[in-house]
Structure 1
Amino acid sequence: MLEQIETGDFVDVASGPSVAKLGLGKGAAAAAEKESWDRVRRRLRAELGEDVFSSWFARVEICAVVEGVAHLTVPTRFLKSWLEAHYAERLRAHCTAELDAPHGVSLSVRQVARDGAEPRPESPAQRPRITDARAPAAVNVEAAPAAAMPPASEHDVMDACGTVLDRRMSFQSFVVGKSNALAFAAAERIAAAPAGSAPYNPLYIHAGVGLGKTHLIQAIAQDARQHGKRVAYFTADRFMYGFVAALKSQTALAFKEKLRGIDLLIVDDVQFIQGRSIQQEFGHTINALIDAGKQIVVAADRLPGDLETMEERIRSRLAGGLAVEIGELDEGLRVKILGSRLEALQAAHPTFQVNPDVTTYVARAVATNGRDLDGAANRILAHATLTGATVTMETAEAAIRDLVRTREPRRVKIEEIQKLVATRYNVSRADILSERRTAAVVKPRQIAMYLAKALTPRSLPEIGRRFGGRDHTTVLHAVRKIEKAIGEDRLLHDEVDLLKRMLQE
């Protein structure tokens, strides 16, 4: 008798693993597998860089290693298909090296029933082959769903391509301050422009996490629809899934024609678009729409030139329009944002009141981003409604303690490192990026490379490219040399430590 193990290969029950053997997570064997899987993750992170790892491998979990096969699970079919198509051999190689898995890897989708029951397997039709060391990796990309996903709540609406938009993310609810005023003005101008008009093409909005870029581009989508425009709004993963699914279902031409027939294309988190064929189609779509006078709006977490995994032609095209940064939230803007969140909560809970002094204190303490301010407002509401106590400075401090404690440091950019180091050592940034090998240039260049590795999530190859196209071995040599030097030279140690603190303030 044959039994399917989730979406993995078929195994003979008489000689293969039983369901009990796959229900892992107990005992020393499970602990050893977890430790080995952590080593696989560290290898992938070091090899691919933090961005790629976070996008594609952060949610991969190990289920079991049974009879030489590593059984891994992922949360979505799209992620399973993408890993099979692009990283199957790399996964197999690392699992073979760190886990007792000479026969390869089996990927499956973990599904939890609504009542919280154990994960249930998909149907056999959705099952890929095991990635075996003796055969090429199999590719099994799921077809597109027959119907659009229903709205997640009463706050959500659909755009023309079936992507969920949140009604609450409107221009009216967006709080404007010094750091986002230019981006807001450009967004309003684009949304109100008549179809066929492209005031800034493309509009490229970049910002860190939780600073409002998604809110702003969703507001553009909804306002433009009210002006009668045909709008397509995609997250990066939704765009990739739509294109790959269209290829597999042989409807790629219809997918392309649908995109080219719109008035406004909006893509969020464009830094996550991966794969040569998908990037090429994305580039062709951008070119076709811009040439036809249609508007493009793109959001990302970095400048176009910093999209290291994106093709040069696309980076150049994205940089050819208006690039606007949404900066860090200053204290005044944080007070306004938190005040608007608390007002919305007070409308739903009339007995919930917060003193303006408390609002100012919380906005000063939670200095990270808008999402943490949302979290602070919700925590204060919970403390007030669950305990029935008046919101005081003390209760607010207790409510937001975890947000203050886990505050993340400022995101450091490689360009900032290069500029600061150049100024500190009285050389130019061009000198640091040049081929000059004089001692006056080599030392600051190596310090800048060391700081880039220590303070940014960039991989060694990415850092090398940002330092004049150098090889990753050059960066590794510089990092090791500075690490050794600061361990031996106290003055250099203090100097590098000062540079770190200046960059992180």
Structure 2
Amino acid sequence: MNDTGISVLASDQSDAGDRARLDAAWTEIRVGLRRDIGARMFDQWLKPAQLGDYCPDSQTLDIQFASDFSANFVSGQFGDRLRMAWRCAGAAVRELRLVRARHATGPRVLELPVAVEPVEAAVPRAPTSNFQPRHRFDQFVTGESNQLAFSAAQAMAGEAQPRFSPLFIHGGTGQGKTHLLHAIAAAFSDHSPAAAVLYMSAERFMMEFVNAMRANETMAFKARLRAARLLLIDDIQFIAGKGSTQEEFLHTINELIDTGARIVVTADRPPQMLDGVDPRILSRLAGGLVADIQPAALELRLAILEAKRAIAGDPPVPDAVIDFLAGAIRSNIRELEGAFNKLIAYGQLTGRQIDMDFAQKMLADAVRANARRITVDEIQKVCAAHFRIDPSEMRSKRRARAVARPRQVAMYLAKKMTPRSLPEIGRIFGGRDHSTVIHAIRTIEDLRQSNPDMDADIRALQRQLEG
């Protein structure tokens, strides 16, 4: 017996059968761990570990490390994996102790025993998280504006290793980026419950890094980040201008990419427009898949409200109110959902039926905030830029197809998106007759039905003008 009261495995009193079973189990466990957490992480933290003391009476096994730091880190990051692995190995191990090897210098500090329950009672514990249950893939309504980002997020969360990493999702405030991050984390944890998932905002990343430097704990901070098998960073634009933080973030994503970990980053704009961010970071982020979320078109806003109405219960929300909300709240999905929830809450609290009068009164402030008046002049400029012609061509007498078609598109949008009458629109477009405007509107409507490219152009222009 040694000074801790545990039989020494290598002593003459040790049972050769126990030793052989433990060695065989440890060899198998190491192979599985290397596969699960990646070769680089395994080689750094678990490859040096050795089997230590074993007590056959209590079935307690020590796994030895070169330092207390290594033992504590592995206990925190991989303790559940080790416990599960030994539990499944059937090697007569009820408790694990992760300790520093006796030959290491300094006082020996033993970890508290980690109980290893029988295999039949085993229930893997999911990583601690603050992922919101309502932010799952089945609660995300898709449309043309967000389909690519949604599909890429599903691929990133799937059981199969994605063919791209990192995934960079960008879009305006309230368009669903954070929803997708939570959905990725939840779906990934469903099929890999023991895998380390780390989610934080860029501001939290900076704060924790600064605190770690002040406390002289940067090694522990780095180790925690680089142990993640899925790293999710929200609003990366806030890292701009922070030199030391950017350097650490760059090293982190390089390490994780090298180990095959999955990385998802969001921002309010694409990588090439992130001023003040290290070009090396931008290159890494753009080297995976960049997916944007455009402002939700009317069709998607209607679909989102329909989905919420289906689960809202009483009081019922009539179609007219749904149409009113979808047309009036255009700024972002978060505000749209908030407006709907406000109606339902007030209706339930007051017992009022939800009708147009009630909706208009309750949401007057939100509607006013979203009521951005679009002008014909703005439409002309946006269309000219989109079709790469001079804005003056919108009012010119030229009939060449290269300028006539963009002019017709602008007339069509002017009628759809402004309160101007047909004669007024004609006058703004170089003094044209109202019949010319009617012809333009009908031409573009027909082209939208027969020409997918034209329809896509119109949708893009509408989103730009509404945004």
So what's the TM-score if we normalise by structure 1? 0.48
Query: For residues 72-471 of structure 1, what are the structure 2 equivalents within 5 Å?
Result: 160=127, 164-194=130-160, 197-228=161-192, 229-274=195-240, 275-346=242-313, 351-407=314-370, 420=385, 423-425=388-390
1:239 and 1:345 map into 2 onto residues whose CA distance is: 37
Contact preservation (8 Å) 2:234, 2:265? yes
1:389, distance to aligned residue in structure 2 (A) = 2.2
- C-alpha distance in 2, partners of 1:502/1:370? 14
Counterparts of 1:366 and 1:311, CA distance in 2: 37
**Deviation readout 1:90-128 (Å, 9 max, x if unpaired):** xxxxxxxxxxxxxxxxxxxxxxxxxxxxxxxxxxxxxxx
Whole-angstrom CA distance in 2 between matches of 1:368 and 1:314: 30
Q: Residue in 2 aligned with 1:461?
A: none
Q: Distance in 1 between matches of 2:327 and 2:291?
A: 26
What letter is aligned with 1:251?
E
Report SS of the residue matched to 1:297.
strand
Cα distance in structure 1, aligned partners of 2:282 and 2:329? 34
Change (3 A) 1:502 1:352: closer
8 Å Cα contact 1:193/1:199 also seen in 2: no
Matched pairs, number: 265
Cα deviation code 1:394-441 (max 9, x no counterpart) = 21122221111112769xxxxx98992993449xxxxxxxxxxxxxxx
Q: TM-score, normalised by structure 2?
A: 0.52
Structure-2 separation of matches of 1:238 and 1:339: 35
Superposition map of 1:18-33 within 5 A: none
The amino acid of 1:384's aligned partner reads: G
| Deviation for aligned residue 1:189 | 1.1
Structure 1 alignment gaps of length 5 or more: 1-157, 411-415, 427-500
Distance 1:502 1:179 in 2: 9
Contact 1:211–1:329 (Cα < 8 Å) also in 2? yes
Secondary structure of 1:406's counterpart equals: helix
Give distance in 2, aligned partners of 1:181 and 1:265.
Answer: 22
Higher helix share: 2
Q: Quick one: which amino acid aligns to residue 303 of structure 1?
A: P
* Contact kept in structure 2, 1:268 and 1:299, CA below 8 Å: yes
Q: Structure 1 residues 159, 404: closer, same or farther in 2, change over 3 A?
A: farther
* 1:432-475 C-alpha deviation (Å, 9 max, x unpaired): xxxxxxxxxxxxxxxxxxxxxxxxxxxxxxxxxxxxxxxxxxxx
Deviation, 1:345, is: 3.0
Asked if the contact 1:269/1:299 (under 8 Å) is kept, the reply is: yes
Partner deviation per Cα, 1:125-147 (whole Å, 9 max, x = no partner): xxxxxxxxxxxxxxxxxxxxxxx
Partners of 1:230 and 1:167 lie apart in 2 by 18
Superposed structure 1 runs of 4+ greater than 4 Å apart: 416-419, 501-505
Flag the 1:297–1:159 CA change in 2: closer, same or farther, 3 A. Answer: farther
Whole-Å Cα distance in 1 between the matches of residues 291 and 316 of structure 2?
37
Q: 1:424 to 1:401 in 2, by over 3 A?
A: same
Query: Percent identical across equivalent pairs?
Result: 40
Are the structure 2 counterparts of residues 234 and 201 from structure 1 closer, same or farther at C-alpha, using a change threshold of 3 Å? same
Give the stretch that moved more between structures: 247-256 or 206-215.
247-256
Contact 2:229 2:262 in 1 (8 A): yes
CA apart distance, 1:503: 6.7
Q: What amino acid is aligned across from residue 350 of structure 2 in structure 1?
A: T
**Post-superposition offset of 1:190:** 1.2
Q: Is the 8 A contact 2:297 2:463 kept in 1?
A: no
**Superposition deviation, residue 502 in structure 1:** 11
